[in-house]
Structure 1
Amino acid sequence: MKKIVALWMSLSLLSGCQTSQNNDSTLKQISSAYKQPAQQAGTIERLDYTTYESMNYDEKTQELIKTAYVYLPYGYSQDQQYNVFYLMHGGWSNETTMLGTDTRPSILKNIIDHAIANNEIQPMIIVCPTYNNASSEDSSDYSLALRLTENYHNELINDLIPAVEGKYRTYAKNTSSEELRLSRNHRGFGGFSMGSVATWRTFQYCLDYFYYFMPMSGSLTNDGTFMNQIVEQSGYDSNDFFIYAMSGSDDFAYSSFASQIENMLNHENSYFIDANSENGNLLFQVQEGGTHNGDYASQYIYNGLCRFWNEN
């Protein structure tokens, strides 16, 4: 069982995945040339910020200094407004896993550089944080990670977003709660595996602040009523968010992930509408033969960012 869970959480961010077909929706193939550094390369910066220990966040008794890595697109300028995407890692991982660091960027960073240069992806800011709490080893504890992803919204809204959007130029005029809500259409959150669980929790607790969601190979619940009530109780409607969900047909997380999506779409009076139909807000694509690893995570992220802020 431990080996299975470890496989679930591992990330080896490579590219070269093949295309797949699901309900007439095709996942894009990543060109092998995208693995190489791009001439028009963005940069990665380290951002340290203050937050509080997750389990007793409300008491604010234990202050923590945490790190996120921030991707800035080629030609980034404070004179231009940018959409911002928050990208969470899975288990056995940290804030360096997805895009790397300023001195050791990952292959995924190269892929995004090329896709932006070729006008497939909008120039955007990408933030790679961590739900690790008091220890860098927290994500290796499955049950602890589940608790931390449920708590993460406190840090995300109160500490990380203000730190990022107070420093870099986004569509938020300032970091007040009101302004962050007003700029929600220009903000997205996604993650693979345990990062996907964090994405569903962000949808649950932070719909006020995000429009785009990219859960990948990690489910929260198969209770369609629970998911529907999140939207109903938020005061938002079906046109107020967009979810791009992806997984692989041979991914051991696929069955529970697909079940959640199916129950969301088929719920009576559902707020979730298949994006293959008019005014849809939930697109679910499956990579044929895809397993639970970083190759496919890279492909999903590439496809999702090609879609976000480009769908109209």
Structure 2
Amino acid sequence: MKRKLIGLATGFVVMIGLVILFLNQQSASEEAATANPTTPSQQNINGSAERKQEELNEGQVGMLETIQYQTEYENTVYDKMAQIYLPAGYKENPNQQYDVLYLMHGHTMDYADFLTDRGTGEASAIKELLDQLIAAGKIEPLIVVSPTYYPDRSVIESSWSADDPLNLRFANEELPNDLIPAVEGTYRTYANSVSAVDLAASREQRAFAGFSMGAITTWYVFEHQLNLFAKFLPMAGDSWTVQSSGGSSAPEETAEKLAQSVRESNFTPDDFQIYASVGGADGTKYSMDEMIYEMWDTDSFTNDNLVYTMDEDGGHDLESVRNQLDGGLRELFGVE
């Protein structure tokens, strides 16, 4: 009898252990799914545009232009340029208005490096991606503006962290005061004029994206220009609003400061969309991971207004930027 009771007790303990193990495994799976919201459909998207460039006819290919404007930096006025992508049909449809995406480069890059291949001077893979997605009817036709945060090339330093003050200055001063009025006073966006009221009224049709130090710029634009932009695509870069590399060195403080900027604005978490992304082999991934997980713990960010995806094999390069833009453009400008 005693041996039988021992056997029953042992079996009961084993059963309890198996139940606990199952629950722990289920909890771990749920935590992993929450921590890493990427899905297979959002990874390895290289080449996913439905129409190849050689399949497009002349009427489906967008054009590139350059716009000039001026900005003041340290008491000196600089002549600046930005490259403009105009979608196919822009010239032929003089009454049509367009969404606009401002696309910022990374350390040492220039205003033409996203839309033009530096080596050949021909259209880049990113410019061709825009043509292909629009031609395939996957995204709405849009204007893309590729500027530079450098006043001129003489200010470039060897360390990318030295760009941070220029990123903040661009977001705070040059973008709202100089670049946007020059662009949207020239091209047909949804802003009826470049007055503060009309620019704010058209924020839903305006996005800002950036790669590397351009992503740092994007987070500054989110923090300081939420009245002008409703959509954001930071790629391979965290926010440095608290300190350099704050996504890894001070993730909780960084997330809270970004959340506070939303609370202090006239907007709610339903009034903006962030599509953040990074390459799986990119060294900036850890900083983005830590910061974004902390952002989800605040009251300003949810899985709906902050989407975080990964280009699974992507590095810190333009090929991965192209892949990340593919997903981001579909998410924020997709045709329903």
TM-score normalised according to structure 2 size: 0.78
Identity %: 35
Determine if the alignment matches structure 1 residue 111 to structure 2 residue 125: no
Q: How many matched pairs?
A: 280
Give 1:226 shift: 0.9
Give 1:138 shift: 2.0
Determine if the alignment matches structure 1 residue 68 to structure 2 residue 99: no
Cα deviation digits, residues 232-289 of structure 1 (max 9, x gap): 111211011000000122211000011111110012xx21010xxxxx1111011222
Cα deviation digits, residues 146-200 of structure 1 (max 9, x gap): 1100111210000100000000001100000111001000000001111100100
The residue number in structure 1 matching 2:205 is: 186
Determine if the alignment matches structure 1 residue 232 to structure 2 residue 256: no
| In 2: Cα distance, 1:116 partner to 1:29 partner | 17
Give 1:290 shift: 2.0
| In 2: Cα distance, 1:24 partner to 1:254 partner | 18
The residue number in structure 1 matching 2:287 is: 256
Give 1:48 shift: 0.5
Give 1:29 shift: 3.8
Q: Which has the larger radius of gyration?
A: 2
- Do the aligned partners of 2:37 and 2:308 also contact (CA within 8 Å) in 1? no
The residue number in structure 1 matching 2:167 is: 149
Determine if the alignment matches structure 1 residue 203 to structure 2 residue 219: no
Find the partner of 2:108 among 72, 83, 92: 92
Change (3 A) 1:244 1:209: same
Change (3 A) 1:308 1:140: farther
| In 1: Cα distance, 2:135 partner to 2:256 partner | 42
The residue number in structure 2 matching 1:43 is: 63
Flag structure 1 segments of 5+ consecutive residues without an equivalent.
Answer: 1-19, 275-279
SS of 1:234 mapped into structure 2: coil
- Do the aligned partners of 1:122 and 1:306 also contact (CA within 8 Å) in 2? no
Give 1:35 shift: 5.6
Determine if the alignment matches structure 1 residue 217 to structure 2 residue 241: no
More helix by share: 2
Determine if the alignment matches structure 1 residue 302 to structure 2 residue 331: no
SS of 1:156 mapped into structure 2: helix
SS of 1:266 mapped into structure 2: coil
The residue number in structure 2 matching 1:289 is: 313
**What is the RMSD of the two structures over their aligned residues, measured on CA atoms?**
2.2
Change (3 A) 1:169 1:66: same
SS of 2:185 mapped into structure 1: helix
- Do the aligned partners of 1:25 and 1:285 also contact (CA within 8 Å) in 2? no
- Do the aligned partners of 1:181 and 1:209 also contact (CA within 8 Å) in 2? yes
The residue number in structure 2 matching 1:169 is: 188
Select the structure with the greater relative contact order (CA < 8 A; seq sep ≥ 6). Answer: 1
Find the partner of 1:265 among 296, 308, 313: 296
SS of 1:174 mapped into structure 2: coil
Find the partner of 2:277 among 246, 249, 255: 246
TM-score normalised according to structure 1 size: 0.84
Change (3 A) 1:281 1:118: same
